[in-house]
């Protein structure tokens, strides 16, 4: 199990931060592979609760090298703030490395995103507003600015000039140009971040290659979730990076054949933030109950998350796309008090039963979930550490999810803390932070 990829199987916020933190106890290298500070990964450990946005969730193991990979969209202002908070709370950050190939989020990307969302009106994506889409847009347009460009002030200023002129043109086209932002002020500000981050910025490719060739334990940390993937997600209500195992390989520079194990993180129910179809969404008291009990409010934006039952149709689709060898089924404890629990096993689309996810968001919007009902267990499982100690009904729920998704639940979450984790199968002797 030298290289393990950890990917969201739903619409994000599945609990990837907790899973990475647990597995990072024996990792040599933890690589955050894609996305930007649109992500919010929560870790609860002896030092308290942390919300990480760019720093890999392996940072709590001081022996691990934590890498922000070429595929990440990096907001240096956000990263500097995040490092300050970690250091103030006693977390060592000297194991961090930033790829010189990572693209920088610039202030004009944030402005552009706001303008683009505004111009979409009722069709707005519900972006986190972190400028991630426009940053990747400039990367694809080949006018992006990369972390390594901060090393040369003259070259950096030239790139800022090109990027800003392009952004201003787009703002004018959208009718949202409110006057020039000072090019030199922006470049000066970024060059001050450069002085703080310089020690971390590196060509990480040889470091990653060296770790693979010596058989080091490497964790690839995914952000968002497969249903937000740009190619395979619920387009256009998607993020702008590749959120799959393949995307993690691309973003990190780890060759696909080096990945030994891929873990899909799924909640025992579903949540979604922002717009777009979600067939099992509960717009009733049960949805409100789940949101309140699980405190389903965004780690990054504080927005209320939409809640619904576990959807095996989308889950099977994401497991198939990623080839998950294990599932981490999180937040099972949230279902503790329910009389019955529903699982969506198919959709009804205009009178026909379907088992696949239609390509068009408006078709998925029309899909009505076909549910199977399972009895609840009506008792707290927050202190259970062995699968066999779970109530029979909870075991049955887990086994049904495993069967429907097609991979074993080798990790089961019964609470946010490290110890509130059932590790079995492939993880029986892993997840070292879970051990008391
Ligand atoms: P991520 O973006 O995938 O890392 O997930 P978030 O951190 O945005 O949201 C997951 C939330 O669930 C966080 O508040 C975690 O502390 C919490 N969490 C993770 N696993 C469990 C679990 O098994 N039970 C409970 N009750 N909370 C969990
Ligand atoms: P983690 O890593 C949940 C959602 C946004 C919006 C869509 C596009 O914490 O799981 P963007 O800002 O990327 O242009 O927004 O994607 N989104 C997330 N939802 N968790 C995330 O990250 C998300 N990152 C983006 O709400 O619907
Ligand atoms: Mg999150």
Residues 428, 328 within the same domain: yes
Residues 218, 335 within the same domain: no
Residues 400, 312 within the same domain: yes
* End residue of a domain, out of 258, 276, 295: 258
The bound ligand whose nearest atom lies closest to the alpha carbon of 49 is 1
The bound ligand whose nearest atom lies closest to the alpha carbon of 305 is 2
Q: Indicate which residue's Cα is closest to atom 20 of ligand 2.
A: 12
Distance (angstroms) between ligand 1 centre and the Cα of 147 equals 30
Residues 77, 8 within the same domain: yes
Residues 93, 217 within the same domain: yes
How far is residue 52 CA from its own chain's centroid?
A: 11
Supply the range of the domain harboring residue 181.
103-197
Enumerate the active-site residues: 13, 41
What pLDDT score was predicted for residue 172? 94
What pLDDT score was predicted for residue 97? 98
Residue 433's pLDDT band (cuts 50, 70, 90): confident
pLDDT tens-digit readout, 109-121: 999 999 999 999 9
Which residues, other chains included, contact 179 with Cβ-Cβ below 8 Å and sequence gap of 6+? none
What pLDDT score was predicted for residue 432? 82
The bound ligand whose nearest atom lies closest to the alpha carbon of 20 is 1
Q: Of 8, 18, 385, 434, which is best to mutate to test ligand 1, by the most ligand atoms within 8 angstroms of its C-beta?
A: 18
Residue 385's pLDDT band (cuts 50, 70, 90): very high
Q: Of 268, 292, 416, 420, which is best to mutate to test ligand 1, by the most ligand atoms within 8 angstroms of its C-beta?
A: 416
Q: Indicate which residue's Cα is closest to atom 10 of ligand 1.
A: 15
For residues 333 and 380, the answer to whether their CB atoms sit within 8 Å is: yes
List ligand 1's pocket residues with C-beta within 6 A.
Answer: 8, 12-18, 40-42, 44, 299, 330-331, 333-334, 413-416
The total domain count for the chain is 3
Q: Indicate which residue's Cα is closest to atom 16 of ligand 2.
A: 239
What pLDDT score was predicted for residue 393? 98
Residue 296's pLDDT band (cuts 50, 70, 90): very high
Helix H segments across 323-360? none
Q: Indicate which residue's Cα is closest to atom 26 of ligand 1.
A: 415
Residue 1's pLDDT band (cuts 50, 70, 90): low
Distance between CA 245 and CA 222 in Å, rounded?
A: 8
Q: What is the mean pLDDT of residues 202-212?
A: 98
Helix H segments across 261-340? 285-294, 312-322
* End residue of a domain, out of 147, 162, 197: 197
The bound ligand whose nearest atom lies closest to the alpha carbon of 15 is 1
Q: Indicate which residue's Cα is closest to atom 25 of ligand 2.
A: 38
Residues 137, 44 within the same domain: no
What pLDDT score was predicted for residue 403? 98
Q: Of 42, 268, 380, 412, which is best to mutate to test ligand 1, by the most ligand atoms within 8 angstroms of its C-beta?
A: 42
Q: What is the CATH number of the domain that holds 71?
A: 3.40.440.10
DSSP labels, 370-388 = EEEEEE---S--TT--SGG
List ligand 2's pocket residues with C-beta within 6 A.
Answer: 8, 11-13, 38-41, 125-128, 130, 132-133, 223-225, 228, 239-240, 273-274, 299
Residues 91, 205 within the same domain: yes
Alpha-carbon dihedral sign for residues 336, 328, 13, 371: negative
pLDDT tens-digit readout, 57-112: 999 999 999 999 999 999 999 999 999 999 999 999 999 999 999 999 999 999 99
Residues 138, 285 within the same domain: no
Distance between CA 350 and CA 384 in Å, rounded?
A: 43
In 10 A of CB 382, how many CB atoms?
Answer: 12
Residue 47's pLDDT band (cuts 50, 70, 90): very high
Residue 412 phi, psi (nearest 5):
-130, 125
* End residue of a domain, out of 258, 280, 297: 258
What are residue 64's DSSP bridge partners? Answer: none
**For the ranges 41-45, 176-180, 255-259, 322-326, which has the lowest average pLDDT?**
176-180
What pLDDT score was predicted for residue 177? 84
**0.85 exceeded by pTM:** yes
Residues 178, 123 within the same domain: yes
Percent of the chain that is helix, strand, coil (3-state, to 5): 40, 20, 40
Distance (angstroms) between ligand 2 centre and the Cα of 166 equals 25
- What residue has token string 């009902």? 373
Residues 337, 321 within the same domain: yes
Distance (angstroms) between ligand 2 centre and the Cα of 298 equals 9
Distance (angstroms) between ligand 2 centre and the Cα of 241 equals 10
Which residues, other chains included, contact 206 with Cβ-Cβ below 8 Å and sequence gap of 6+? none
Q: What is the CATH number of the domain that holds 187?
A: 1.10.300.10
In angstroms, the Cα distances linking 245 to 177, 225, 267 are 39, 11, 18
Q: What is the mean pLDDT of residues 334-341?
A: 98
Q: What is the CATH number of the domain that holds 425?
A: 3.90.170.10
Distance (angstroms) between ligand 1 centre and the Cα of 90 equals 22
Residues 176, 281 within the same domain: no
Question: Residues whose CB is under 5 A from ligand 3 (ion)?
Answer: 13, 40, 299
For the CA of 222, the nearest atom of ligand 2: 2
Distance (angstroms) between ligand 2 centre and the Cα of 38 equals 6
Q: Indicate which residue's Cα is closest to atom 14 of ligand 1.
A: 42
pLDDT above 90: percentage of residues in the chain: 95
Distance (angstroms) between ligand 1 centre and the Cα of 137 equals 30
Average pLDDT, the chain: 96
For the CA of 225, the nearest atom of ligand 1: 3
Residue of 230, 228, 218, 222 whose CA lies nearest to 254: 218
What pLDDT score was predicted for residue 180? 76
Distance (angstroms) between ligand 2 centre and the Cα of 310 equals 19
In angstroms, the Cα distances linking 123 to 127, 231, 278, 366 are 11, 19, 15, 17
Q: Indicate which residue's Cα is closest to atom 28 of ligand 1.
A: 416
* Residue 209: burial class (beta carbons within 10 Å; 0-12, 13-18, 19+): middle
In 10 A of CB 53, how many CB atoms?
Answer: 22
Residues 422, 335 within the same domain: yes
Q: What is the mean pLDDT of residues 237-256?
A: 98
In 10 A of CB 422, how many CB atoms?
Answer: 24
Q: What is the mean pLDDT of residues 378-402?
A: 98
Residue 181's pLDDT band (cuts 50, 70, 90): confident
């Amino acid at each position: 199990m030298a290289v393990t990829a950890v990917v969201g199987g739903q619409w994000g916020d599945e609990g990837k931060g907790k899973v990475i933190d647990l597995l990072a106890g024996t990792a040599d290298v933890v690589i955050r592979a894609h996305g930007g500070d649109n992500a919010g990964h929560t870790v609860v450990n002896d030092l308290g609760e942390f919300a990480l946005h760019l720093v890999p969730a392996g940072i709590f193991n001081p022996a691990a090298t934590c890498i922000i990979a070429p595929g990440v969209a990096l907001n240096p202002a956000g990263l500097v703030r995040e490092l300050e908070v970690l250091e103030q709370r006693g977390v060592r950050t000297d194991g961090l490395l930033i790829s010189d190939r990572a693209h920088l989020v610039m202030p004009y990307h944030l402005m552009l995103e706001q303008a683009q969302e505004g111009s979409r009106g009722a069709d707005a994506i519900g972006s986190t507003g972190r400028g991630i889409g426009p940053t990747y847009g400039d990367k694809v347009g080949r006018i992006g600015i990369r972390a390594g460009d901060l090393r040369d002030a003259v070259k950096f200023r030239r790139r800022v000039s090109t990027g800003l002129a392009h952004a201003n043109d787009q703002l004018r086209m959208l009718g949202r140009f409110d006057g020039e932002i000072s090019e030199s002020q922006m470049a000066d500000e970024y060059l001050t971040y450069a002085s703080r981050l310089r020690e971390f910025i590196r060509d990480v490719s040889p470091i990653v290659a060296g770790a693979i060739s010596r058989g080091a334990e490497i964790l690839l940390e995914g952000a968002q979730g497969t249903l937000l993937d740009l190619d395979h997600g619920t387009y256009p209500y998607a993020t702008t990076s590749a959120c799959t195992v393949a995307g993690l390989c691309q973003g990190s520079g780890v060759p696909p054949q080096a990945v030994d194990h891929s873990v899909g993180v799924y909640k025992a129910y579903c949540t979604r933030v922002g717009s777009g179809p979600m067939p099992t969404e509960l717009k009733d008291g049960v949805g409100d109950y789940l949101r309140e009990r699980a405190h389903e409010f965004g780690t990054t934006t504080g927005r209320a998350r939409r809640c619904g039952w576990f959807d095996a149709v989308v889950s099977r689709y994401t497991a198939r796309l990623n080839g998950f060898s294990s599932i981490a089924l999180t937040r099972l404890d949230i279902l503790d008090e329910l009389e019955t629990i529903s699982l969506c096993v198919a959709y009804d689309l205009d009178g026909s039963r379907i088992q696949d996810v239609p390509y068009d968001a408006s078709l998925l919007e029309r899909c009505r979930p076909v549910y199977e009902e399972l009895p609840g267990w009506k008792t707290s499982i927050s202190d259970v550490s062995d699968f066999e100690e779970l109530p029979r009904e909870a075991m049955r729920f887990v086994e049904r999810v495993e069967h429907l998704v097609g991979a074993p639940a080798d990790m089961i979450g019964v609470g946010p803390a490290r110890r509130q984790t059932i590790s079995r199968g492939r993880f029986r002797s892993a997840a070292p932070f879970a051990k008391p």
